[in-house]
Amino acid sequence: MTGRLRVAAAQASSVPGDVAANVATAVTLVAGAAERGARVAVLPELFLTGYDETAWTHEVSLAPDDERLTPLSEAARSTSTVVVVGAAVRRALDESTLSLLVVDDRGEVSAPYDKQHLCGPERDFFTAGGHGATIVVDGWDLGLGICYDGCFPEHALSATAGGASAYLVPAAYYTGGEHRRDVYYAARALDNGIYVVFAGLTGTCGAGSFCGGSAVYDPEGRPLDRVGDGSPDWAVADLDLEVVARTQREHPMASDRLDTLGTRNRVVLTP
């Protein structure tokens, strides 16, 4: 197992429903990540589709073998970069999921994870995922989540219990949500003693304005690198398995959690 892994959380603006334009931007982000020495590039939620509900149609939704993904496959292959990027994925004639596409360093595309915790208007179009997912890169187990998933401690805990040393979370936070964005994902790192790689959509997409904030958090929740709302921009950091092991030994909250807290006694104190 390789002890270190360089990752890049990349961000840019996305165009609603314009897959070709978004793939072209994704290629730029992957090239920038590779120039910074990253082995893994994480791009925002629904980046290839656009985070705008007017763009969510089954016709725009992608399949792993969609020819529109060819430039991104070539970028991953030519730079030996593993790419994790958000997209709407068509699972059946009238069913799409809010998913992560993974493009490996041979250019092969898969869609291993569908968002489990849908939020707001997402529920009106997408089907929720029914399982977690982990990808393995150079011996690193990398748990996958999408935006609202990371607001639930159990989601990252499940990834950690399954052996993940890092949690990759593409997201799309509206402007004004910066405080919650910066608390949730740092907390997931601290909860579990793992790295968290957060890639946030930025700029305008349809009617929405997004605040970026891509970051890599260490296993105690400190930002190793974090960017503002620039487009394009990259937060880059080296992950170290020894740091994960040491942190989990010294702060073993994930393993010390009780399976149950039992019943709750309610004591009413009278004056």
**251 burial class (0-12, 13-18, 19+ CB within 10 angstroms)?**
middle
- Please check the confidence at residue 207 and state whether its pLDDT lies above 90: yes
pLDDT tens-digit series, residues 180-195: 999 999 999 999 999 9
Angstrom distances, CA of residue 15 to CA of 19, 83, 218, 268: 8, 19, 32, 57
The answer to whether 135 and 102 have CB atoms below 8 angstroms apart is yes
Q: What percent of the chain has pLDDT over 90?
A: 98
What is the Cα–Cα distance from 75 to 242, expressed in whole angstroms? 31
What residue spans define the domains of the chain?
4-256
pLDDT tens-digit series, residues 95-123: 999 999 999 999 999 999 999 999 999 99
> How far, rounded to the nearest angstrom, does the alpha carbon of residue 44 sit from its chain's CA centroid?
7
DSSP 67: G
Q: Is the peptide bond before 16 cis (omega within 30 degrees of 0)?
A: no
The answer to whether 223 and 214 have CB atoms below 8 angstroms apart is no
Average pLDDT over the chain, rounded to an integer: 97
- Please check the confidence at residue 11 and state whether its pLDDT lies above 70: yes
Which tokens is 23 given?
A: 């793939």
- Please check the confidence at residue 22 and state whether its pLDDT lies above 70: yes
- Please check the confidence at residue 212 and state whether its pLDDT lies above 90: yes
- CB atoms near residue 17 (< 10 Å): 18
pLDDT tens-digit series, residues 224-247: 999 999 999 999 999 999 999 999
Of the options 3.40.50.300, 3.30.870.10, 3.30.70.20, 3.60.110.10, the CATH number for the domain spanning 4-256: 3.60.110.10
- Please check the confidence at residue 2 and state whether its pLDDT lies above 80: no
Confidence band of 1 (pLDDT split at 50, 70, 90): very low
Looking at residue 146, its pLDDT comes to 99
Q: What percent of the chain has pLDDT over 70?
A: 99
Which tokens is 77 given?
A: 């292959």
The answer to whether 188 and 153 have CB atoms below 8 angstroms apart is yes
> What is the torsional sign of CA 22, 23, 28, 34?
positive
pLDDT tens-digit series, residues 28-66: 999 999 999 999 999 999 999 999 999 999 999 999 999
Please give the single-letter amino acid code of residue 195: Y
- Please check the confidence at residue 68 and state whether its pLDDT lies above 70: yes
